């Protein structure tokens, strides 16, 4: 079974999905992290003057979820921290707008979730990647709130970054992610919208967990 949460950058999808996964003891997949790993490959390919896509196809991208943390690996090396750098954030929308990169990452995700119950977060999971997902959520929050959340998340590892820079980065990404021609950020018609601007984190987690629990019990009673 697959549950998806889509929404713009900083809307709280990842942290909520992670907490829900830990709560319900299901698996978690952070699709944005996989696009960020692809972006690391892109940045490396620029350094060594190689074709990006060739290098991507030769790369081994894997992940695991342990102790409420999503770990991303590139060729066996843990790149969980590296993929949160501003350099990656500044380039990821561009990389993720390439249909070849999307097809590659989508395939990786569809294979990965086949054998377990997953909650996955992203931009186009409910519309393009898993259109038949059993449950779909679409999370939104105003720009100010989203920038503050992202700032608090990364300020310890990146002391140079300012709130204003993050706000600009998120606004630019919203624009690129929503207006790209290949699988843009969009609410699926059958997704449940959750506006988290005035919700506490605990409320978000409880609301989504309860909907999933109901669905899980419906599935087992079928
Ligand atoms: O969730 P995030 O901010 O870590 O995502 C990084 C980027 O990846 C985001 O700017 C858009 C892209 N992305 C995407 O295009 N499709 C997804 N399903 C998930 C992320």
Return the pLDDT at 160.
86
Between these two residues, 137 and 153, which has the higher pLDDT value?
137
**Number of separate domains in the chain:** 1
Angle at the Cα of 200 from the Cα atoms of 170 and 163, rounded to 5 degrees: 30
Ligand 1 neighbours, Cβ below 6 Å, are 9, 31-33, 35-36, 92-93, 96, 122-125, 173, 177
Residue 139 lies in a domain: yes
Does the pLDDT at position 92 exceed 80? yes
Does the pLDDT at position 221 exceed 90? no
Does the pLDDT at position 158 exceed 80? no
- Which residue CA neighbors atom 2 of ligand 1 most closely? 32
Q: pLDDT tens digits, residue range 27-85?
A: 999 999 999 999 999 999 999 899 999 999 999 999 999 988 999 999 999 999 999 99
Residue 214 lies in a domain: no
Return the pLDDT at 214.
94
Residue 196 lies in a domain: yes
Q: Region 100-117: what's the mean pLDDT?
A: 95
Q: Which of 81, 123, 124 to mutate to test ligand 1, by most ligand atoms within 8 A of the CB atom?
A: 123
DSSP letters, the chain, are: -EEEEE-STTSSHHHHHHHHHHHHT-EEEEHHHHHHHHHHHHHHHHHTT--HHHHHHH--EEEEEETTEEEEEETTEE-TTGGGSHHHHHHHHHHHT-HHHHHHHHHHHHHHTTTS-EEEEESSIIIII-TT-SEEEEEE--HHHHHHHHHHHHTTT-TT--HHHHHHHHHHHHHHHHH-SSS-S---TTPEEEE-TT--HHHHHHHHHHHHHHHHHHHHT-
The number of C-alpha atoms within 13 Å of 97 and in the hemisphere containing its C-beta is 13
Q: How far is the CA of 213 from the centre of ligand 1 (A)?
A: 27
Query: What is the β-pairing status of strands 69-74 and 61-66?
Result: antiparallel
Residue 144 lies in a domain: yes
- Which residue CA neighbors atom 3 of ligand 1 most closely? 9
Q: Which domain holds residue 146?
A: 2-203
- Tell me which residue of 94, 103, 83 sits closest to 40, measured CA to CA: 83
Q: Which atom of ligand 1 is nearest to the CA of 92?
A: 7
Q: pLDDT tens digits, residue range 199-215?
A: 999 999 999 999 999 99
28 burial type by CB count under 10 A (0-12 exposed, 13-18 middle, 19+ buried): buried
10 Å Cβ neighbour count for 161? 17
Residue 43 lies in a domain: yes
Q: Region 122-145: what's the mean pLDDT?
A: 95
Check which CATH number belongs to the domain holding 10 and give it.
3.40.50.300
Residue 221 lies in a domain: no
Return the pLDDT at 195.
94
Residue 211 lies in a domain: no
Instruction: Let me know: does 133 contact 125? Beta carbons within 8 Å.
Output: yes
Give me the chain's average pLDDT, please.
93
Cα–Cα distance measured from residue 101 to residue 203, given in angstroms and rounded to the nearest whole number = 35
Does the pLDDT at position 218 exceed 90? no
Residue 18 lies in a domain: yes
Q: pLDDT tens digits, residue range 4-26?
A: 999 998 898 988 999 999 999 99
Q: Give 108's contacts (C-beta < 8 A, 6+ positions apart).
A: 34, 61
């Amino acid at each position: 079974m697959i549950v998806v949460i889509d929404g713009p950058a900083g809307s709280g999808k990842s942290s909520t999905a992670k907490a829900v996964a830990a709560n319900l003891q299901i698996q978690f997949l952070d699709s944005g992290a996989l696009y960020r790993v692809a972006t690391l490959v892109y940045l490396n390919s620029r350094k060594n003057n190689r074709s990006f896509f060739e290098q991507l196809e030769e790369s081994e991208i894997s992940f695991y979820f342990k102790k409420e943390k999503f770990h991303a690996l590139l060729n066996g090396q843990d790149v969980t921290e590296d993929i949160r750098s501003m350099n990656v954030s500044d380039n990821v929308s561009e990389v993720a707008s390439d249909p070849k990169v999307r097809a590659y990452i989508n395939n990786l995700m569809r294979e990965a979730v086949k054998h377990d119950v997953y909650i996955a977060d992203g931009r186009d999971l409910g519309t393009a990647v898993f259109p038949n997902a059993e449950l779909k959520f679409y999370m939104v929050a105003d720009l100010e709130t989203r920038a503050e959340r992202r700032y608090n998340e990364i300020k310890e590892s990146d002391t140079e970054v300012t709130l204003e820079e993050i706000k600009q980065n998120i606004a630019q990404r919203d624009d690129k992610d929503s207006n790209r021609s290949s699988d843009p950020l969009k609410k699926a018609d059958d997704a449940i919208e959750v506006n988290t601007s005035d919700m506490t984190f605990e409320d978000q987690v409880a609301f989504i967990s309860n909907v999933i629990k109901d669905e899980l019990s419906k599935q087992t009673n079928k």
